[in-house]
Structures are given as C-alpha cells and as structure tokens.
Amino acid sequence: MGALPAQEISEAAATPGVTTLSLDLTTGGAADSALLPAESLKLLTDTLESVENDIAEVELKLSSAELVLDENVLSSISEQAGGAEMTMAAKPISAGDLSDGQREALGGRTVFAGLALRFSAGGNEISSFKGGRLTVNIPFTAPADGGAFSVFYVADGGAFRHATSIGKDGASFRVAHLSDFVVASDESVTFYDVVDGAWYSDVAYFAARSGFMMGDGTGSFAPAETVSRAMLAQILYNMEGAPDAASAGFTDVDDAAWYAAAVNWAAENGVISGVGGQRFDPLTEVTREQAAQMLYNYAKYKGNSLDNSKPLTAFTDAGTSSGWAQEALSWAVGEKLISGKGGGILAPLASATRAEIAKIMTYYLESYEL
C-alpha cells in the first residue's frame, strides 16, 4: 500500500504553474491501494478549494490504475470520511475473477483487463460522490487486431452497463459510483459529425453504445439537432427497456407512429404529460427546462433520491425560468446534469439539442444507475 504524506502533497503543490497535482504512489514499489491520513486528505481538499493556486485536480498513480479527483469528488470524500484516514483500493481483476452472473451478462465479450475500485474510511465504504465524478484510467494492452473495446460497469448480480469512456475508444472512463469495471471487446461505433475532443463526444458515444440514443443510420449523430417531445419520450423509454403500456388516447399520436409506444409509456407513468385537449404535441421542440422537468419526473418514477439540489442564483438568467420548472432545474444543477452554457447563462427556455440531451442522460445514469 502506498502512503501519501502531507509533506509530499505540499511540495508538489508548490510547483509554479501546476494545474494537475500529480502524485505517484508506485515510486517505492508496486501499490494497488493508497492510504490517505486525515491530514493529507484535508490538505488535498483545501488545495483544490484554494483561490491562491491554479490546481483543478489531483492525479494519483497506482500500479493498476490512475485516478483523477476534482474538487467535487475530494470535497464529498472528505465530508464522508469525517476526519478518519482513508484507503483507496484499485485491485486488478480478470475474467476468472468474475461471477457466473457477471460473465453471463457480458456475453461472448473478451475481457482484456479489469478493476475492483473501492474507497473506505473509518470502517465505512465510500461508493459515491454526491454529484462529483471520478476519472479512471486502466492501463492495458489494446487488441492486436485493432478491434473495438469499451469499459463496462459490472454489478455483483450480473447487471452491466457501459461506463462513460473518455474518447471514442480507450480505457479511460468517468464514474460517479465505485464498483467492478472491465475493459472488454465491443462493437465499433463511429459518427462522422462527432468531433474527437468536442465537449459532447464522450456522451454521444456512450449514448449510442448504451442504446438509448442512436444515429440516423447514415453515420450521423446530429449533435446540433433539436429534440422534440416525441424524441425525448423515446430516449427515456429506451433507458427503461421499452416496457408495454396501454394507449394514452392522444388524438395527435397515431398508433403506427415510431414514438407511439414511448409516448403511451411516458404518459401512463407521469414522466411526460399531454398538453391538454387529449393532445401530446409530439413534434414540438423541448426546451432545456422542459427536459429537466421530464427527467426529474423520470427520476421520481424510478424512486431516486431528489435531495441534491442547488440554488440557481449563480445564473444571471435564472429568473427567466418558469416557476413550475425551478425545482427540477435546481435538482439538475445540483446533480451536475445541467451546467449552463458558460458566462453564467442557464438558458432554460432555449431548445435542447441532441448533444445536450446525451450529456444530461449520461450524467443521470452515472449518478443513479452506474
């Protein structure tokens, strides 16, 4: 186990111009876990919160993984640790370490590498970061044949999902919860209009690999295209696994329409209501505040905790949001699902784009499902 003394942190933080505080815990030999004394954890948190430096994140190098912690993650960890020393364990796992249920869930995928990621303090496990997200990189040798691969979250019971990989391909990924993760073979996904490095590239590929948002069949993801009420109903319906639902009786939703089943399910479960007069208005564009409300309704339907809200006072245009949407917007901002458009602008009445919806849904799944 690699220890992280406060003095080492102070010396690294004193380097002029540093924006990432890089700490190598393998210098004394192999280390699959890190011990952070209470003093060190507090110092790391204080360093990132300080306005006297430009440090925005901490990178911890272990033998089996590299972990990048931002201010939100460190603040949440420090709060949960409650003054106790903390252990970060990153244990390598292989296909042979998986349970029968996990292997069955992965199907015929080839497992190239894996990681069991656990944090604990004071005898208690720390498994989530209250809206913060941890970036993880698993070093491994890519397939010699150039085949595609992805990172998967694998639950003990066998349930699995794609993790949010950073980049079109790679074993760097972002998580809001800790568990077991594997790098395994996957189908290749490429969109000609998703630019590598664009703010939406990671979430676009996650959405496509996870199956809740698809391209148009011609290789386009159409990130700038706006989203209609029918489209958003279909996205949420895909996330739920396309269950059966009785007809809602909307006069403007034909039973043969591609979105009919999704609209019926959304209306039946209080996720998206009609607009009155037995109409759903399926082709009308969804605004950002409407998208927040619909996802808030979905989270409530799923039984998720809705306590992590944040005031909208940081946004100069918060007053333009509708009164009925402010609770949902405060929750979405608190969970980092919506972060604004820069310059203190929330733009609640602007139409939501496919790129924005991909981000919102991805971050929701990271917070509640992964």
Give the largest CA-CA distance in the chain.
71
pTM, to two decimals: 0.74
Position 326 scores a pLDDT of: 96
Provide mean pLDDT across the span 342-358: 95
CA-to-CA dists, residue 184 to 16, 87, 103, 188, angstroms: 40, 27, 11, 12
pLDDT digits (tens, 9 = 90+) for 100-116: 888 888 888 889 989 99
Top-level class of domain 2-188 = mainly beta
Provide mean pLDDT across the span 339-358: 94
pLDDT digits (tens, 9 = 90+) for 46-102: 888 887 888 889 999 988 899 999 888 999 999 999 999 999 999 998 888 888 888
Domain coordinates in residue numbering, the chain: 2-188, 203-368
The fraction of the chain above a pLDDT of 90, given in percent, is 48
Residues 6+ apart with CB under 8 A from 35: 1, 2, 3, 4, 85, 86, 87
The amino acid at residue 172 is: S
Length of the chain: 370
What's the token pair of residue 251?
């006069």
Q: Quick check: 287 and 347 in contact, CB under 8 A?
A: no
The amino acid at residue 285 is: E
Mean pLDDT across the chain? 89
